[in-house]
Chain A
Amino acid sequence: MNARLTTILLRSPVLVTMVLFMLAPMALAVVYSFMTNGAYGGVRMPFTALAYRQLLFQEDFDGNLVFSTGYLAILWRSVLLAALTVVASLAIGLPLAWYMACSSPAKRARLLLLITLPFWINTLIRTYCWVLILRDEGLLNGGLRYFGLAGGHFLYNDFAILLGMIYTYLPFMVLPIYAVLERVDGDVIEASHDLYADRWSTFRRIVWPLAMPGAIAGSLLVFAPALGSFLAPDLLGGGRRLMIGSLIQLQFTSSRNWPFGAALASVVSVAILAVLFVVVRRSFNKVPAR
């Protein structure tokens, strides 16, 4: 009984903190999304679903509601860019993780450190690097001109946003995949070769299924922050090619529409929870219990 009390006492500070300052704020944001926009930011009564209506409909000059795709398009762009980030990170991260797992232990440690390190460097600075490289007077254009080639506009487009997001979130993909591949028994791979499988079928039939749990975890860890990404669209997309993260931020700064911002944030949270739920369920169904 005493041990049980100790456990409860040890767990409660973090539990209280997270419920009070993480769960409660998110719940309150959902409440705010159903309230009326205050004149100078903030919210007031009464409760309404206006914020969600704004997401789908616009009032035309006669005050009629017209279905509008403006915000939906931004949502769709965000999901698409986040999904592309996942696919690209997976395509880069999987071979890299395999390379790391195949290296000698000492080299592994060094490679691992080099993957982890950028994660701790300020995302603002890491995104700003690409501004220096891609902008019109930037390094890339300078280099192209030096070699007598025509430069171009590389900044402020979707590709720049995508590049910035891959650059930011790649470690999230590599680390979980590496974590599972590191534990793969080499004998399994050798057995596959002994049974006349070539590299490709060994990869497809052995390595990929083994890497799957890591790839799923990595995809989630990339998708979630990429979907709500603010810095990449803001600095590399020029703030004009909006993603949902920058749209939310706008509602709390210049647009001063808190309910709409809260509604967008709720939509993002629900979208991520849904993806999380589906993925976790599907992966549990697929992996046979051991």
Chain B
Amino acid sequence: MSSKPFDWKATPGLSTLSWVVYLFLYAPLLVIIIYSFNAGRQATLWEGFSLDWYAKVFHNRDIGIALSNSLIVAVAAMILSTMLAVTAALGLRHARAGGGGQITLGLILMPLVVPEIVVAVATLVFFSGIGLKLGLGNLIIAHTVFCVPFAYLPIQARLTDMGSAVEDAARDLYSNEWQVFRRVTLPLLLPAILSGAMLAFASSLDDFLISMLLADAGQTTLPVYIYGMLRLGVSPEINAVSTLLLASSVVIVLVALRMQGMTKRKS
């Protein structure tokens, strides 16, 4: 009776709706990027193309200091959280449901569910309670904790993906456990480790709230500095520095996800 076979994959109107949602996600970001090239003083009145605000950003010493703080914290938190994530993923590889491994896993994923403000406040209280004053070290510890899940998840996914056949083969060929790890597991895992590390780096750069509550004078990170600028009012300089931060996050994450994708295609 009906002429066309029914296509359940095409619900009418759904594709339009989806493009509207994508527009909703990206149009605001485009707004900030476009206005960062605005010549005028007004943040949202277009007066022609110019790179002046970027020049201003590059000559702003405070932004330079904030950026270097951000990078120090992000690199340190990336290294520490990735090391923790690799050992954790290997240790939890054969964990069974209901065992002690599940508790460890729950703890690793905890920063994903607990609101940032709670983590920020608890860490602030804790550092002041035990009298820990390591300068940027305090920030590094706090960032490491919430970066662990982001580093952990890709590594864990890769371990599940690759199974243990290749490692078993190496064992059959008389490799000892260390050799298996060094020659088989680690090389297979490396792309996932790098990808996890970059995601940890990106989430450290992404943080604002925890840094704001924990940072003392002189430890201002870039997002905290931008927030301070915002308090003084909207300016094109904010648009420029925001665009730079936005662009670097996007590049880092694209590279990280690409690496993850490559491991999938190979296996």
Contacts and interface: CB of A to CB of B under 8 A. Distances in A.
Interface stretch (B50-58, B160-168, B184-192, B226-234): B226-234
B262 interface: no
Given A13-B88, A142-B44, A22 B107 contact: yes
A99 B14 contact: yes
Interface string B130-163: 0000000000011011001000000000000000
A10 B88 contact: yes
Contacts of B92: 11
Contacts of B15: 99
A114 B21 CA distance: 11
A58 interface: no
Task: Please list the 9 inter-chain residue pairs (A to B) with the smallest Cβ-Cβ separation, ordered nearest first.
Answer: A228-B115, A10-B91, A25-B126, A129-B28, A25-B122, A11-B91, A14-B88, A18-B107, A102-B9
B214 to A, nearest CB: 10
A32 interface: yes
Interface centre among A11, A227, A249 (most CB of B within 10 A): A11
Contacts of A220: 113
A71 to B, nearest CB: 16
A227 B91 contact: no
B6 interface: yes
Contacts of B261: 109
A14 B44 contact: no
B44 A113 contact: no
Interface in B8-39: 8-11, 14-15, 17-18, 21-22, 24-26, 28-29, 31-32, 35
A95 B18 contact: yes
Given A125-B242, A221-B112, 5 more contacts: A14-B104, A120-B199, A124-B223, A245-B117, A262-B125
Nearest to A18: B107
A186 B17 CA distance: 22
B208 to A, nearest CB: 5
Interface of A: 6-11, 13-15, 17-19, 21-26, 28-29, 32, 42, 92, 95-96, 98-100, 102, 109, 111, 113-118, 120-126, 128-133, 135, 137-139, 142, 167, 170, 186, 189-190, 193, 199, 202, 220-221, 224-225, 227-231, 235, 245, 248-249, 252-253, 258, 261-262, 265, 268-269, 272, 276
Given A99-B14, A231-B208, A231-B209, A10 B87 contact: yes
Contacts of B17: 95-96, 99
A265 B11 contact: no
A21 B32 contact: no
A92 B17 CA distance: 9
B246 A122 contact: yes
Contacts of B45: 137, 142
Contacts of B26: 114, 118
B32 A132 contact: yes
Given A18-B148, A121-B249, A137-B42, A29 B84 contact: no
A11 B101 contact: yes
A67 B17 CA distance: 48
B28 A130 contact: yes
Given A25-B126, A227-B115, A121 B246 contact: yes
A229 B45 CA distance: 30
A130 B226 CA distance: 15
A99 B14 CA distance: 6
B6 A193 contact: yes
Contact of A248 (B121, B141, B223): B121
B245 interface: yes
18 contacts: A10-B91, A14-B107, A18-B108, A29-B118, A29-B121, A98-B11, A99-B18, A100-B18, A102-B11, A117-B250, A122-B242, A125-B226, A128-B226, A129-B29, A132-B31, A132-B239, A170-B21, A258-B125
A128 B11 contact: no
Given A14-B148, A125-B226, A199 B11 contact: yes
B257 interface: yes
Given A221-B113, A228-B116, A252-B213, A26 B208 contact: no
B107 to A, nearest CB: 4
Nearest to B245: A122
A114 B15 CA distance: 15
Nearest to A26: B122
B169 interface: no
Contact of A125 (B9, B32, B142): B32
Contact of A28 (B29, B35, B125, B245): B125
Contacts of A19: 107
- Most chain B CB neighbours (cut-off 10 Å) among A23, A25, A98, A253: A25
